[in-house]
Structure 1
Amino acid sequence: MEYRRQRALTLAFVLAGFAASALAYSDLPARMATHWNASGDVDGTMSRLAGAFFLPALTVFVVGLMLAAPRIDPRKEGYEAFRGVYEWFVAGTAGFLAYVHVLVLAWNLDYAIPVGQALAPALACLLYACGVLLERAEPNWFVGIRTPWTLSDDEVWRETHERGALAFKLAAVLALGGLVLPDYFRVFVVAPTLLAAAYTVTYSFLAYRRRE
C-alpha cells in the first residue's frame, strides 16, 4: 500500500485519542474544561461524554477530509508532486490533535498543566510543517494558499507559496517564545500566525497585479 507508514501513523494517533478517553473516562469530571483563552483561563466547558470524545471524533472528520481531497480535487494531478509530504502533514495534524486532546484530559484529571505553554511547541511544529507543505505544494483547489490570484495564475501560486513557506517557518520559530514566556502567548504565537496568513494573502494580490 502506498504511503503505508504515514497512514499507519495517522491511524495510531486517531486510536490513541479514543483509547486515552476510554481509559480516563471514569475519572473525568461531569463538566469538562475544553477551551482556554489566550491568558490560560477556562472559558468553555462540555459534558463528560462530549468533552472526552469530541476531539477524537473531530480528528477522524478532519483526517477524512484531508485524505479525500486528492481524490475529489479537479486538479488532482498536482498532488503527485507533493503527495508524500502531504501524507506526512495529515499524520502530523492527527498527532497535533491527539496531543491537544491529551492536554485536555490531563488538565481535567487535575494535573497542573499550563495549557498555553504546553501548546506552544506543538503549534510551532505545526506551523513549521505548514511551511514545508507550502514550499512543495503544486496548484490545486484544497491545499495551500488558495486566493483568487493564486488560483488564477500558476506563477503567482509558486511565488506566493515560496514567500508563504518562509513566513510560516518564521512564525514557527517565534511561537517557541510562548514556551519560554507563556504570559506573552498572543505576542509569540497568535500574532505571528495571523501576520503570516495576512502577508501571504496580500502578497498573492500584489504578485498578480504586478504580472498584469
Structure 2
Amino acid sequence: MKNKKLYGGLFLLCVANFIAHLFFYPGLPDTVPVHWGFDGQADGWGAKSSTLFICIVPLAILLLLAVIPKIDPRAQNYEKFDKIYRGFVIGIVVFMCAITWLTELTVYNVLPGSSNMIGVLVCGGCGVLFIALGNYMPRIKQNYTFGCKTPWALNDEHNWNRTQRMGGIVFVVIGVAMLVSMLFAKLLGETGMMVLLLGSTLGGTAWIYVYSYLVYIGKMK
C-alpha cells in the first residue's frame, strides 16, 4: 500500500511537471538549448518540441523503477531495503523533474547561458545523490539491478556485503568529487572538471570490481 501511494504521488508529480511545461511552451523560441557542457555553456540545440519529450523522461524512469522490484530474480530481497529503494526512487525522480527545467531557465534568463550555474547545479545535485546513496549502500541486499553488481558479489552473500560497503565509500568519494568540481568550477575549467569527474567515476568503478575479486580469492580479509 505504501509503495502504491508513493508511485501514485510521484506519477502525479510527473504529470504536473508536464502540464507546467505546457504552460511555458508557447513562449519558447523555435530553437532551444538542450545540452550543456561541463562549463555550463549550451553546446547542443534542438526544436522546442524536444522540451516536451525531455519532460517525459522522469515518468519513464519512474515506471522502470516501479517494475524492477517485480521482475528481479531476487525480488524478495527488495523488502529488506524497501526504505532505501523508496528514498532512491523519490530522489532520482524529483531530481530528473528539476533537470527538465534547464531549457526554460536558460531561455527566460533565470540561469544566464553565459554563466556556469547550470554545471554547478547539476554537479551539486548529482554529488548530493551519490553521497546519500553511498551512505545507505551497505544495507542493500543481493539483487540483480540495484547496487554494485559484480559477478563474485552476485554469487556470494558475504562478497556482496563487503562489495556494497566498499561501493558506499566509493560513491561518497565520487559525490565529494562532484561537489568539489561544483565549488571550484571556474578554477578547474572544463578540462579539469572532466578529468576530476571521469577519473573518480571510472577509477572508483574499476576499484569496486578489483576489490570484489580480491574478496573472492581471499586476499581481502
Q: Which amino acid aligns with 1:197?
A: T
Residue 37 of structure 2 corresponds to residue 47 of structure 1: no
Q: 1:31 and 1:71 mapped to 2: Cα distance?
A: 41
The answer to whether the 8 Å contact 2:148/2:164 transfers is: yes
- Aligned to 1:25, what secondary structure does the other structure show? helix
The secondary structure found in structure 1 opposite 2:46 is strand
Query: More deviation in 165-174 or 108-117?
Result: 108-117
Please tell me whether the aligned partners of residues 6 and 88 of structure 1 are also in contact (alpha carbons under 8 angstroms). no
CA contact (8 A) 1:86 1:133 kept: no
When the two structures are superposed, what TM-score results if normalisation uses the length of structure 2?
A: 0.85
Using the alignment, how far apart are the partners of 1:208 and 1:200 within structure 2? 12
Q: Is the 8 A contact 1:149 1:204 kept in 2?
A: yes
How far does the alpha carbon of each residue in 1:138-176 deviate from its partner, in whole angstroms, 9 at most, with x for none? 001111111212112221111010011111112222321
Tell whether the 8 Å contact from 2:137 to 2:164 is kept in structure 1 after alignment.
Answer: yes
Number of matched pairs: 211
1:129 maps to amino acid: A
Tell me what 1:82 maps to. 81
RMSD of aligned alpha carbons: 2.3
What residue number does 2:209 align with? 201
Cα distance in 1 for residues equivalent to 2:16 and 2:201: 28
Aligned to 1:136: 139
The answer to whether the 8 A contact 1:10-1:92 is kept is no
Inter-partner Cα distance in structure 2 for 1:105 and 1:192? 31
Aligned to 1:168: 171
Say whether the 8 Å CA contact 1:70–1:76 is kept in structure 2. yes
C-alpha displacement at 1:12, in angstroms? 4.9
Secondary structure class of the residue paired with 1:144: coil
Within the alignment, does 1:64 sit opposite 2:63 as a pair? yes
- Structure 2: how far apart are the matches of 1:131 and 1:58? 24
Summarize the Cα distance change of 1:23–1:121 in structure 2 as closer, same or farther, 3 Å threshold. Answer: same
Distance 1:125 1:5, change over 3 A: farther
- SS of the aligned residue for 1:158 comes to helix
Unaligned runs of 5+ in 2: none
Task: Name structure 1 gaps, 5 residues minimum.
Answer: none
Please say which of residues 63-72 and 185-194 is displaced more in the overlay: 185-194
1:98-177 pair list within 5 angstroms: 98-111=97-110, 112=112, 114-177=117-180
> What residue in structure 1 maps to residue 199 of structure 2?
191
- Counterpart residue type for residue 92 of structure 1: G
Instruction: Please tell me whether the aligned partners of residues 9 and 91 of structure 1 are also in contact (alpha carbons under 8 angstroms).
Output: no
Is contact 2:11–2:62 with CA below 8 Å preserved after alignment?
no
Report the equivalent of 2:181.
178
Identity %: 26
Q: Deviations over 1:122-148 (max 9, x none)?
A: 111211233134222100111111121
